Amino acid sequence: MKSPFPHSAGFKRYYTEDYYFKSVFGEKTARLPIDAGFTCPNIDGTKGIGGCIYCSGRGSGDFSAESAFSVTEQLAQMREARSSKWEVKNYIAYFQAHTNTYAPPEKLRALFDEALTFPGVCGIYIATRPDCLDGGIISLLGEYSEKTKLSVELGLQTCNDVTAGIINRCHTYSDFLCGYQALKDVGIRVCVHIINGLPGENKDDMLYTVRETAKLRPDGIKIHLLHILRGTAAEDMLREGKIIPLTLDEYVDIVCDQLAILPPDTVIERITGDGKKNDLVAPLWSLKKFVVLNSIDKEMLRRDSFQGIKYYPGE
């Protein structure tokens, strides 16, 4: 069966972000991660302390420059780092570390405006939580969605509120749905972030999260693997036997099933994850990113499957 998702390197059986960027901007586009110095309501005590069990001290901003540098300086540093890997002229300013709407609108406006003045920046991506989207923030984001390519990456991780309690997410699935709908009501592009391999969840739980997400028809989705990093609560749970990391074969099997039930027009913005080599405790197989990607491609081909083949609108 021919895949409906052409890709520059042949054919992928899912809708890649690379293909999406090329269709929108006409050429390859790179994300430049930014650590704007935010914190999070489940770190500072507003909702909880310690953050999510898997969260590093940098709040998932481990591959960005230091927050002590300005947005402009960070973008310049990241552009230089990317230049040895890709020749690109278009960039997405990616506010990644911690919760990037957890500040007054005037502070956010200054940061976003600075990012948009950087040469080559053609859009802004913002990672945040659904409980940090009050009316003022939604209004601000709606304004930016009209003048640039804006996408909000909304952390879900799982639809299971029991699991959410275990990972110390400090917001409910209902909170997520409210935040998601508030963004969509003003026409904002949304990418949903999920994690496979959370403690206590089996394959059925992970497929349930994707089935519920598929009903929303999100613009994008990030499928991530639970990384156990040194110094996190997840490392303690691993040592205590409360987390059993997925094997590569298990992860590939789950992801292929998830892709099959996702809408074909949802961009797959991530299908595995990067953990810093010196910080990653488990699973170590995830360090071989291209092995993971190739394994997924091979399994999709073996199954003669592709994204959306089992997606049924309205279910």
Each residue's pLDDT tens digit in the chain (315 positions)?
556 766 544 579 999 999 999 999 999 999 999 999 999 999 999 999 989 999 876 546 466 678 899 999 999 999 998 887 778 899 999 999 999 999 999 999 999 999 999 999 999 999 999 999 999 999 999 999 999 999 999 999 999 999 999 999 999 999 999 999 999 999 999 999 999 999 999 999 999 999 999 999 999 999 999 999 999 999 999 999 999 999 999 999 999 999 999 999 999 999 998 778 889 999 999 999 999 999 999 999 999 999 999 998 866
Token output for 24: 């929108």
* Contacts for 185 with CB less than 8 Å, ≥ 6 apart: none
- Which residues in 204-310 belong to E strands, given as ranges? 220-225, 228-229, 267-270, 280-282
Output the CA–CA distances (angstroms, integers) from residue 172 to 21, 104, 136, in the order listed.
32, 23, 22
Res 82: pLDDT: 82
CA distance 283 to 250: 12
Helix (H), strand (E) at residue 292? helix 289-303
Residue 153 DSSP code: E
Res 7: pLDDT: 54
Helix (H), strand (E) at residue 218? none
- Using DSSP's 3-state secondary structure scheme, residue 16 falls into strand
CA distance 202 to 200: 7
Res 63: pLDDT: 63
CB 186 within 8 A of CB 150: no
Q: Which pairing describes strands 228-229 and 280-282: parallel, antiparallel, or unpaired?
A: antiparallel
Q: What is the DSSP string of 83-122?
A: HTT---SEEEEEE-SS-TT-S-HHHHHHHHHHHHTSTTEE
CA distance 115 to 200: 40
- Using DSSP's 3-state secondary structure scheme, residue 200 falls into coil
Res 51: pLDDT: 92
Res 59: pLDDT: 47
CA distance 129 to 179: 8
Burial code of 79-115, b = ≥16 C-beta within 10 A, e = fewer? beeeeeeeebebbbbbbbbbbbbbbebeebeebbebb
Cα 169–175–178 angle (5° rounding)? 150
